[in-house]
Amino acid sequence: MATPLLLTRRLAAPAPTRDASPLPDHHYDPLVGANVVADGRLLVKAVDPATVANYTSTQDQGGVRRKDDPK
C-alpha cells in the first residue's frame, strides 16, 4: 500500500499495517449471488477483514446508476 500524504509535520506517521493475504480459492455461486469458498461459506466471511478492506477499497463506491437517477 502507498504511504499516505501527511499535510502537517506535527502528526506522527501511522504505523505500517500488515500486508493483506491473497484471497483463498473461491468461485461465483449464481444461486447465492456471491463468491463462495470451497466449503460453501461466503468469501467475505471466510477471509480476514483486512483482506476484504484491501480489495474493496480499490472499487468505485458509486454503485450502479440508471439513466434516470438524480446525480
User: CA nearest 55: which of 43, 66, 67, 65?
Assistant: 43
Which residue, 45, 49, 57, is CA-closest to 20? 49
pLDDT tops 70 at residue 8: no
Confidence of residue 37 (pLDDT cuts 50, 70, 90): very high
| Mean pLDDT score of the chain | 73
Amino acid at position 37, single letter? V
Q: Give every CB contact of residue 58 below 8 A, 6+ residues apart in sequence.
A: none
Are the beta carbons of 27 and 36 closer than 8 angstroms?
yes
What is the distance between the alpha carbons of residues 23 and 52, in angstroms, rounded to a whole number? Answer: 9
Query: What does the domain layout of the chain look like in residue ranges?
Result: 26-54
Whose grid coordinates read 466471511? 45
